[in-house]
Structure 1
Amino acid sequence: MTSVVTAGGVSVTIRGVVVDESETVLDRLASDGVPGSLMAKNANLWGPDASSEARRRLGWLDLPEASRPLLGRLAELAGEARGAGLDHVVLAGMGGSSLAAEVIARTAGAELTVLDTTDPHQVAAAVADRLERTVVVVSSKSGGTAETDAVRRIYESAFREAGIGDEELKRRFVVVTDPGSPLAALAEEAGYRLVLADPDLGGRFSALGAFGLVPAALAGVDVAQLLDDAARLVPVLRQPYDNPGLALGAVLGGSAISGRDKLVIADHGSGLVGFGAWAEHLVAESTGKDGKGLLPVVVDSVDDPGFTLTDDVRRVVLGARPDQPGPAREAGLTVTGPLGAQFLLWEYAVAVAGRVLGVNPFDQPNVQESKDNTAALLRVEEGGAPTVIHTAPVMVSGVVEVHGPDSLLKDAKDLRGALEAILEAAPERGYLAVMAYLDRAGDADLAEVRPLLARLGGKVRKNPVAVTFGWGPRFLHSTGQYHKGGPEKGAFVQVTGVVDKDVPVPGRPYTLGQLELAQAFGDLRVLRSRGRPVIRLHLRDRAEGVAQLRAALT
């Protein structure tokens, strides 16, 4: 059985048993008047406890039109930067302040250097690249994001060391933040270009707002097309039937409550580069709370072992035609459409899924825990020196230190044994999350351990588990919420690495390397306090350690 909902330039195809599972949910959503209520911004859709938050977080529904007045300002900023020879655009931002912009730029083939990291190797490499031609977009909704603040301070120092004076410095920064934030006050005082975002948006629902559009426009993307594509979808989102957003939301919510609480996302010719990472952030942080949620598992393709290995997943393919043969044809769900419309489609669907699950899709109650632990380790409030304490490893295999509880690793003889132990420790119908606090560019080969771990899980377990991979600290602003607030089904492998050359953070009593390690240890504390199985692998040599990990898994 196949159901195809096509309208507003997008198409959602639902196949097999998924049709039956979602029909009841879809009918209930339609009979409850959810489409009309959502488009009318009814904040009571998610229950009385969520209404206060929801009332301040529904501005994303208006963005296809509300963002149009920005276009003139964006053209002016882009023209000014190009006129000054500033054609290397760097984006400092985390989570919703960076992911959408990165997808927009990569999909359009535009160059945008994204620094959603505290890794000193990655930041140092970016600062050394065409500094004389660099303009930095500093993007933070709250205006107090620690990672973003650190990168801003480092670039300000680098520009001054390069002989750039105060007047020229004003042209080197474009700030995107909410009205009244500390970052807005700093930008006004320093004379930086300032673009104020709509305060009635949560960060992960702001793809079509200033956070998504400003960096992309500076990188040379025609962002007006995104708004045009999204605007074509708006009228159909009010409909109770033939509404692709409602159909997708019914599948997502229905899958989670039926026990298929993993959403495996594979691209198959969509042309939307990196869209899975943005969807991962949106779905995980919006649904993963109160012990509930849908865990996104982003895989490289429909041929990835993680696409078919486990039976507790809902598979979604981006870009596959309904008549396309092979694994894509067998997926329960395929979604097609242009990028601007897909942003709005998924935001709408996740809001609907939140209602089905009975969670508030607009808050992130567990994200702050890791931030608080990081601050405590750094003693930020007291202005003292960092207090990160190193522990002795349980074993050392080559250049890889293995840290973890003796009870978990007691039978492990080598690195492969440690990885088998953590796979076996994952709960039934659970998942294993790899969390890498390294250089997303320089240590990119580490991401190859995810499919290798998925294959190994299929050998050492009777019932394999889904395997996810995230770069720290960016995942703390997405799947990090699910890890702590979602179902207690996770096991975790944290990877840290030696810092060859650290980078001081001007005006702060710590370096980037110390901040990165404090973030890793802070998150580790939270996971252990919840009794989650977790090990830490520390690479004494990054390149050799990554190669050793891959070799242990093959």
Structure 2
Amino acid sequence: MTVSVTFNEEKVAEQAAETAARLVSEGVPEALAKGDPTLWGPEAQAEATVRLGWLNLPRTSGELLPEIGKLVERARAQGLDHVVLAGMGGSSLAPEVITATADVPLTVLDTTDPGQVRRALEDRLDRTILVVASKSGGTVETDSHRRIYEKAFRDAGIDPAERIVVVTDPGSPLEQTALESGYPVILADPNVGGRYSALSAFGLVPSALAGADVEKLLDDAAAVQPLLAQTEGNPGLDLGAALGAAAVSGRDKLVLEDSLSEINGLPDWIEQLVAESTGKQGKGILPIVGAEPGEAPDELIVGIDSDGALAVGGPLGAQFLVWEYATAIVGRILGIDPFDQPNVAESKKNTAKLLARPELPVGAPILVDGPVEVYGELPGSEVPKDLSDVFTRLLEAIPSRGYLAIMAYLDREAAFDAPYAEGASFEEMTDAWSAADPATLRAQLTLRTERPITFGWGPRFLHSTGQYHKGGPQNGVFLQITGAVDEDVEVPGKPYTLGRLQLAQALGDQGALARRGRPTVRLHLTDRAAGVARLLAVAREV
């Protein structure tokens, strides 16, 4: 079974057909399938030359399967059934989708929140195997996780070399660290960018250790690969032409709907792929994940095995490859390089500079509303009178073709600690969790505006939509949420804790957005549980 692209809206079908015909006349499908790096112009050629290895992963990654199989056998023999993945962005999003779809457990650490990391540490450490995955080998979050787990293993009398597996690019600092420490290393193809690495070692190693059938994943991708060189019946061309043509015509908000799909969580992976690949030079497509489709004229609804202006069906491995191909096609249509991420490094540099200071420059709040402190500048000259006024003015500040991004630097699993009555039904438990979940704020504010609202967990989104926020169209409004840390986690060998790193990341990104004149407000919860409750209570009344 391969991938099908079904058009359910005549205008979208017509635009896609016209665009696809033009691309065919230019020889694009065959050239892309062959890995031609000139397709995105002379400025992008150098980057594209070393970023097209993903086209061959269905075949080349098969060579890794015996080595991966040995790791799996060793882990099973040692009774290591708690697989933890320390990775960010492209190193974590694909394994999260693969394992969720296969219904096998994987603990993903793509956070610097002390509570979330501590929760993972306290869960079956004696049966834990840690996959440390970083393409560059210098990702600050992943490096912190490695250091923390090394100490935890040693403190428990466990040799880290028996529990840590490394996935990285050849020659990276992480490879050298792994070799010195005696950790097994599986090297990924260096000619594959992070967000295109789903079918590489970054996607396969943690997924296989967790119990997913990664050989089938590659087989499904291999089945669709020959179609990508065709001028007709090419799902990658059809999808890319549809997305690109829609964006050019003004429908640049990509609403991803997957409620009927057996694939679990694919929109989260697509979000990074599309946002980070296209959001630059003031252009781009903004994916909207986990929201009800609206009726805004700039929205394009795409269903994963479900309804939409177009629907994309097929097995996960094939979907990975087709969406990557389609995104590369979109890059040509929009006239941008789909393989670089020029604005991602800015927030990282800001964070490093802030961490070097004796104290983080948090500034003074412009408003305190119970357990919520408000920082930043709101549109208008008057100081907000209360939190309801803050929400109202942020919503009013969204441009006619803009969006609001909520970015929560918090523990994304904390809501599951919310109390509920003994004997509660699943629906009652779900209600309790929702009432304690910062993500519920998006749903509540969506009722107050016709514009799309995105939600991202920090710093996870910095490796995803963060590029679009800073490099895409100048039409975003940004709401950060940070929280006080009651019990911090030291990062061994570093002069900072996770809590300090987390706050520095928020402040660093806030500075990057503010320098671009993009409205940014930070809400700091002096008590996290009470603060979330306050935010949701006020949002209901806006």
User: Which category of TM-score, normalised to the shorter sequence, fits these structures?
Assistant: over 0.9
Bigger drift between 263-272 and 204-213 goes to 263-272
1:82 counterpart SS class: helix
SS at match of 2:62: coil
- C-alpha contact (below 8 Å) 1:12/1:244 kept by paired residues: no
Alignment match of 2:194 (pick from 203, 217, 222): 203
In the TM superposition, what are the counterparts of 1:477-492 in structure 2 within 5 Å? 477-492=463-478
| Alignment partner of 1:446 out of 431, 435, 438 | 438
1:377 corresponds to which residue?
A: 354
Tell me the residue number matched to 1:315.
301
Structure 1: distance between partners of 2:214 and 2:157: 34
Give the whole-Å Cα distance in 2 for the aligned partners of 1:89 and 1:409: 51
Show the counterpart of 2:266.
275
Task: Say which SS state the counterpart of residue 44 (structure 1) adopts.
Answer: coil
Mapping of residues 91-170 of structure 1, within 5 Å: 91-164=85-158, 168-170=159-161
CA deviation vs aligned residue, 1:267-295 (integer Å, no higher than 9, x gap) = 13111111111000000000000110000
Query: Of residues 341, 344, 347 in structure 2, which corresponds to 1:364?
Result: 341
Q: Indicate if the aligned counterparts of 2:254 and 2:300 stay in contact, CA closer than 8 A.
A: yes
SS at match of 2:524: strand
Deviation at 1:411, TM superposition (A): 6.0
Q: Give per-residue Cα distances to partners, 1:210-229, cap 9 Å, x unaligned.
A: 00000000001110010111
- Give the SS at the match of 1:45: coil
Alignment-mate amino acid for residue 204 of structure 2 = L
Partner of 1:389: 361
Q: Which residue of 1 aligns with 2:421?
A: none
The one-letter amino acid paired with 1:404 is: G
- The residue matched to 1:176 in structure 2 has which SS? strand
Identity %: 57
2:483 to 482, 489, 497: 497
Counterpart amino acid of residue 364 in structure 1:
Q
Helix, strand or coil for the counterpart of 1:543?
helix
SS at match of 2:6: strand
Partner of 2:526: 540
C-alpha separation between the residues in 1 aligned to 2:249 and 2:117?
43
CA contact (8 A) 2:442 2:455 kept: yes
DSSP-derived class of the 1:90 partner: strand
Give, in whole Å, the separation in 2 of the partners of 1:262 and 1:286: 14
The CA deviation at 1:12 is 3.5
| CA displacement 1:415-461 (0-9 Å, x = unmatched) | 1220111111122210000011001111471111112111112xxxx
Q: 1:408: Cα distance to partner?
A: 4.0
Specify the alignment match of 1:186 in structure 2. Answer: 177
- Checking the alignment, whether the CA contact within 8 Å between 1:409 and 1:418 is kept in structure 2 is no
Greater mean deviation of Cα atoms: 226-235 or 307-316: 307-316
Instruction: Provide the secondary structure at the position in 2 that maps to 1:80.
Output: helix
CA contact (8 A) 1:9 1:232 kept: no
Looking at structure 2, the residues matched to 159 and 480 of structure 1 have their Cα atoms a distance apart, in angstroms, of 33
1:428 to 400, 410, 432: 400
Q: Which moved more, 1:537-546 or 1:38-47?
A: 537-546
CA distances 1:472-492 after superposition (whole Å, capped 9, x unpaired): 001001100000000101000
Equivalent residue, structure 2, for 1:324: none
State the AA in 2 paired with 1:123.
V
Distance 1:408 1:472 in 2: 27
- In structure 2, what is the Cα distance between the partners aligned to 1:37 and 1:73? 33
Mapped contact 2:378–2:394 kept (Cα < 8 A): no
For residue 404 of structure 1, report the CA deviation from its aligned partner.
Answer: 2.0
Match of 2:431 in 1: none
Task: Say if 2:362 and 2:507, in contact at 8 Å, map to a contact too.
Answer: no
Answer whether contact 1:497 1:539 (CA < 8 A) is retained: yes
Going from structure 1 to structure 2, the CA distance change for 1:145 and 1:156 (only over 3 Å counts) comes to same
Q: SS of the residue aligned with 1:412?
A: coil
Could you say what secondary structure the match of 2:72 adopts? Answer: helix
- Summarize the Cα distance change of 1:8–1:406 in structure 2 as closer, same or farther, 3 Å threshold: closer
Contact 1:12 1:248 in 2 (8 A): no
Equivalent residue number for residue 259 of structure 1? 250
Superposed CA offset, 1:149-169 (max 9, x none): 0000000011111122xxx32
Once the two structures are TM-superposed, the CA of residue 494 in structure 1 deviates from its matched residue by 0.3
Tell me the SS of whatever aligns to 2:243: helix
**Equivalent in the alignment of 2:373:** 401
State how far apart, in whole Å, the 2-side matches of 1:42 and 1:386 are.
49
- Distance of 2:392 and 2:303 partners within structure 1: 30
- Rounded Cα–Cα distance in structure 1 between residues aligned with 2:214 and 2:117: 27
**Structure 1 counterpart of 2:320, one-letter code:** F
Q: CA deviation at 1:53?
A: 0.4
Instruction: Provide the rounded CA distance (Å) in 1 between the counterparts of 2:442 and 2:393.
Output: 16
SS class of match (1:89): strand
Whole-angstrom CA distance in 2 between matches of 1:455 and 1:407: 21
Task: Show CA shifts across 1:300-356 (max 9, x none).
Answer: 5xxx2xx12422111111112xxxxxxx3xx21111111000000100000000000
Partner Cα distance (1:22, 1:354) in 2: 15
How far apart, in 2, do the equivalents of 1:400 and 1:408 lie? 21
CA RMSD between the two structures: 1.3
Helix, strand or coil at the partner of 2:29: helix
Is contact 1:12–1:247 with CA below 8 Å preserved after alignment? Answer: no
Q: Distance between the aligned counterparts of 1:425 and 1:154, measured in 2?
A: 42
Give secondary structure in 2 for the equivalent of 1:396.
strand
1:45-60 → structure 2 map (5 Å cutoff) = 45-60=39-54
Q: CA deviation at 1:16?
A: 2.4
Aligned: 1:519 with 2:519: no
Summarize the Cα distance change of 1:14–1:202 in structure 2 as closer, same or farther, 3 Å threshold. Answer: farther
Tell me what 1:461 maps to: none
1:289–1:486 CA contact under 8 A, matched in 2:
yes
- Deviation of 1:413 (Å): 2.5
**Number of aligned positions between the proteins:** 520
Cα shift readout 1:144-191 (whole Å, capped 9, x = no counterpart): 000000000000011111122xxx321210000000000000001100
Residue 30 (structure 1) shift: 1.0
Give the aligned residue type for 2:446.
Answer: A
Provide the rounded CA distance (Å) in 1 between the counterparts of 2:8 and 2:323: 15
- Mapping of 1:287-326 within 5 angstroms? 287-300=278-291, 304=292, 307-320=293-306
| 3-state SS, counterpart of residue 39 of structure 2 | helix
How big is each residue's C-alpha offset from its partner over 1:107-166, in whole Å with a ceiling of 9 and x where there is no partner? Answer: 1001000000101010011101100100100000000000000000000011111122xx
For the residue of structure 1 that corresponds to 2:170, the secondary structure is: coil
TM-score (norm 2): 0.94
Q: What is the DSSP-based 3-state SS (H/G/I as helix, E as strand, rest coil) of the residue aligned with 2:149?
A: helix
Asked whether the equivalents of residues 101 and 213 of structure 1 are also in contact (C-alpha less than 8 Å), the reply is yes
Of 327, 334, 353, the residue aligned with 1:350 is 327
